[in-house]
Amino acid sequence: MTILVTGGAGFIGSNFVLDWLDVSDEPIINLDLLTYAGNRQNLAALEGDSRHVFVRGDIGDTELVARLLEEHRPRAVVNFAAESHVDRSILGPEEFIQTNIVGTFRLLEAVRGYWNDLPEGDREDFRFLHVSTDEVYGTLSPDEPAFTEQHRYEPNSPYSASKAASDHLVRSYLHTYGLPVLTTNCSNNYGPYHFPEKLIPLVIHNALAGKALPIYGDGQQVRDWLYVKDHCSAIRRVLQDGRTGETYNVGGWNEKPNLEVVETLCAILDERQPREDGRSYAEQITFVKDRPGHDRRYAIDASKIERELGWCPEETFETGIRKTVDWYLDNQVWVENVTSGAYRDWVEAQYA
């Protein structure tokens, strides 16, 4: 038995691969194109591990995917592969259309061909699990109930629109072709191996470098924060016992305004690695012009996955954020290796 993981060198994907092989001996075929956020260093602990087969390639390469499926005969595909940063989607939406929509379509086509040729028993057991985001649901007012699986899709950025389209494609392959699919929609992840353009790793990196800590608008945009290893355990549960065709929202029950998140990070860094001048990192906070179409609030109601599959997050925001800061402090070589010149140029252009 084996599974095929796409996008398994990215932030969430690499954490999933590492966690999977930490609790299971079932091998993983890991397909990743290694774009800017994909990083083989995330998987360094698996060097020489026969349970992990890494293949550099694109989910949009139907021939490659078909060959991998035929050669390794996986019982499941877990699709993490996606362009995933709203800011980048605003500056260059076409890559998001190509990867998240066209790429998902071509992946589904290859998987459908493979699944059709499986023996009957294997066809019944096979699963295609598509990992998506809460951003497809749009934005909430301060007093609205959290997103449930029945919430209407109202994406507001090229990124969330492309993910919404991919979700609809996945659903259509169940209802049109019978492909046994599952979908998860998660809230904001944080934790080890997070590429330092997203809020939490960016703030940690800039704080230690003595740079400004940029916060969009008034900093009161609210997000639900989910520790990445909790997300990985949720995906394992859904893959194991989720009902075919169902969607499961995965959240951390941790709604926080962005400004509060940044102030919490500054307080932890003040404690863990104080500035040489003895002043608080919070003095580096800088408010910058808000990004276009910035959603005000996301919130996930994760009652369904807890009720049906018995899953709930182990980490609170307070425990998870401390583990995250400690990981970045202990892995500064990794940070330096991924913050290349191209990354620095992008950050300067984005927050100028």
Q: Which residues are catalytic?
A: 134-135, 159
Distance CA 33, CA 23 (A): 26
How does DSSP assign 9-48, residue by residue?
TSHHHHHHHHHHHHH----EEEEE---TT--GGGGGGGTT
As given in the structure block, the two tokens for residue 103 are 């790429």
**Do residues 77 and 63 touch, judged by C-beta distance below 8 A?**
no
How many Å from the N-terminal Cα to the C-terminal Cα in the chain?
50
Instruction: Say which residue the tokens 């609205």 belong to.
Output: 144
3-state class percentages of the chain: helix first, strand second, coil last, to nearest 5: 50, 15, 35
- Nearest C-alpha neighbor of 336 from the set 204, 156, 167, 163: 204
As given in the structure block, the two tokens for residue 19 are 């966690």
Distance CA 133, CA 139 (A): 13
Please give the helix or strand (H or E) that residue 165 lies within, else none: helix 158-177
Dihedral of alpha carbons 131, 128, 69, 107, sign: negative
**Do residues 147 and 184 touch, judged by C-beta distance below 8 A?**
no
Distance CA 346, CA 63 (A): 33
Q: Helix, strand or coil for residue 184?
A: strand
Dihedral of the alpha carbons of 320, 326, 332, 333, in degrees to the nearest 10: -80
- Nearest C-alpha neighbor of 276 from the set 215, 209, 202: 209
As given in the structure block, the two tokens for residue 267 are 């307080």
- Nearest C-alpha neighbor of 203 from the set 284, 85, 320: 284
